[in-house]
Amino acid sequence: MAVANTDSVVHTAGTEADTFALGEAIGRSLRPGDVVLLSGQLGAGKTVFTKGIAAALGVHADEVHSPSFTLVNFYPGALPLYHIDLYRLNASAETAYAVDLDEILQDASAVVVIEWAERLGNFPLPATVWRVSIEGDGDEPRSICISRPVGSPR
């Protein structure tokens, strides 16, 4: 899943509110058809980051919940949002087909956020992919590395 031509920035989020605010800031830069790949250990703040993205897309953040059991949640908004969680699936390209990712990616009007993206294996992704890696958990500050596609808004 290596992507060339990205611009990476590392942020420190000292609180859950900081993680949410950073997600919201990135959400304002997203365009229809963009994919955001999230990685980080359990409790790192992937869903909080997604709630920030959702808020920027016109989705009420309180409606956003981790799709750990449903695998995919859809939220209509100013930009529709697909929120996918691959935690409970094995790491392979077949994982993406299990959640119909190939079909979801055909919805060029929506933004797609995928938690546990490292489980996608070699599944082909569109050109406009944002990568977000969150390190840290508990009460410690998070280190959030964001790799945005070259030419995307800041």
Q: Of 9, 24, 95, which is closest to residue 58 (Cα–Cα)?
A: 24
Residue 22 confidence class, pLDDT cut points 50, 70, 90? very high
pLDDT reported for residue 101: 87
DSSP string covering 67-129: -TTTSEEEE-SSS-EEEEE-TTS-SSHHHHHHTTHHHHTT-TTSEEEEETGGGGTT----S-E
**Residue range 94-152, pLDDT digits in tens:** 677 778 888 999 899 999 999 999 888 888 888 789 999 999 877 789 999 999 886 55
Q: Which amino acid is at 143?
A: S
Region 28-52 average pLDDT: 94
**Residue range 4-14, pLDDT digits in tens:** 445 889 999 99
- Packing angle, helices 46-56 and 16-27, rounded to 10: 40
Rg of the chain over Cα atoms, rounded to whole angstroms, equals: 14
Q: Contact, 133 vs 39, CB < 8 A? A: yes
Confidence (pTM):
0.88
Burial 59-89 (b: 16+ CB within 10 A, else e): bebeebebbeeebbbebebebbbbbbbbeeb
Q: Contact, 40 vs 47, CB < 8 A? A: no
**Residue range 55-96, pLDDT digits in tens:** 999 999 999 988 877 889 999 999 999 999 988 777 665 677
Q: Which residue has the tokens 């956003």?
A: 64
- Residues 93, 98, 100: CA angle, nearest 5 degrees: 100
pLDDT of residue 36 exceeding 70, the answer is yes
Q: Of 32, 41, 35, 21, which is closest to residue 130 (Cα–Cα)?
A: 35
